[in-house]
Every structure is written in C-alpha cells, then in structure tokens.
Amino acid sequence: MTRCALALCLCAALTAGTEFAVSAQTLPEAIALHNSAAAGDAKDLDAAVSMLEALSEADPENAEIVAYLGSAYAITAREGRNVVSKMRNTNKALRHLDQALEMEPDNFSVRMVRASVQRNLPPMFNRADDAVEDMVVLDRLFQATDKAPRSMAEAMLSIYDHLLAHAASRGDWAAGRDIALDRSK
C-alpha cells in the first residue's frame, strides 16, 4: 500500500467512526510523509497533513504528533500561494508547536521540530529568539544523554552551526568560541 493510500484509508476510517488505535508503525509513516513534503515533494504534503490530523484526533495528548502536525502546517504555508492562507497556516503551525512544547518541554523531537520551523520563519514572526532557546535546550538534552544515537548527534550538528552563526551575528564571540570548542570534544 502506498503512503498516500495509507493516509487516505486512515482518514476514511476516522471519518466513518471506525475505532482506530495509533500503531507504532503509523507515526513513522506520517513522519516519512512529512519529511518528504519538507524536502519539496508536493504530492506527499496533503497526505502528511491528513494522516497527522487523523493521528492527532486519535491521540491528542501525543506531543510528537502535535509538533509534526504543526510543522506540516508550516510546510503548507511555505508552499502556499495565497498570502492570507500562508498567514493562517503559519499561525496554526505556531499554535500547534507551542502546544506540543507545553505538553512535553523536554522532548527532544518536539524541540527539534519546533526549532527547525522557527529558525526558518520570516523575521516578522519574531521567533528567532525562541528558536535559539529551543536549540540551547536541545544542547542540554543532548549533553544529558549518556549514549546518544548517531541520528541525534547528526541532528545536533545543524543546531550547533546555527548557534555558532547566531552568536557571531550578535557579536558574541565568547559564546561562539564556547560552542565551537564544545563541538570539538
């Protein structure tokens, strides 16, 4: 079954009132659709949004689902052509990302998704400082992990690069040096 077909079956089951249990395989499939859409695959965007909305309805307390849904709305805004829709989707994205963070402030995935969205927003949304705050928390969470998986370490490289550039842009050379030295350990 293709990813798009799986998303449509999931949505149909929910709208028909069928009981649906979020399986361990469904969220990774939704994240794969999300990541494909984030990379520019427009055909997976609608399927990602539909699947994540269905998962969110089925499990509204799952912060990771809420965060990825927020990110999917941000991708929808990025890909949109209508300014009003772009604003509406961006605001919806930020509400979901903030809600996910309130649910689980120390969840690495939630912070990573939120930081990624916020650092790519236009300055008019005033989220650059929030993105940096998320990245600092991500560093703390990463440092507290005894045996971080390779994927977590690889994800932190882009975070450290962004923090280094942010420190340099603010003339905070001491912070930039500390970040660079910390990375070399």
Q: What confidence tens digit (pLDDT) does each residue in 83-117 have?
A: 999 999 999 999 999 999 999 999 999 999 999 99
Q: Provide mean pLDDT across the span 5-12.
A: 42
**CA–CA dist 68, 74 (Å, integer):** 10
| Percent share of the chain, pLDDT over 90 | 63
* Domains of the chain and CATH, by start: 27-183 (1.25.40.10)
Q: Where are the alpha helices (DSSP H) in the chain?
A: 3-15, 26-38, 42-58, 63-79, 83-103, 108-119, 128-143, 150-169, 173-183
DSSP 8-state symbol, 121: S
- Which pLDDT score, from 0 to 100, does residue 149 have? 85
- Residues 6-32 have a mean pLDDT of 58
b/e code 140-171 from CB counts within 10 Å (16+ = b): ebbeeeeebeeebeebbeebbebbbebbeeee
Measure the CA–CA gap between 169 and 175, rounded to whole angstroms. Answer: 11
- Predicted pLDDT of residue 83: 96
Per-residue pLDDT for 184 more than 80? no
3-state secondary structure (DSSP) of residue 84: helix
Q: Which residues contact 140 (CB under 8 A, 6 or more apart)?
A: none
150 or 90: which leads in pLDDT: 90
Q: What average pLDDT score do residues 145-165 get?
A: 87
pLDDT score of 25: 63
Of 42-51, 67-76, 155-164, the least confident: 155-164
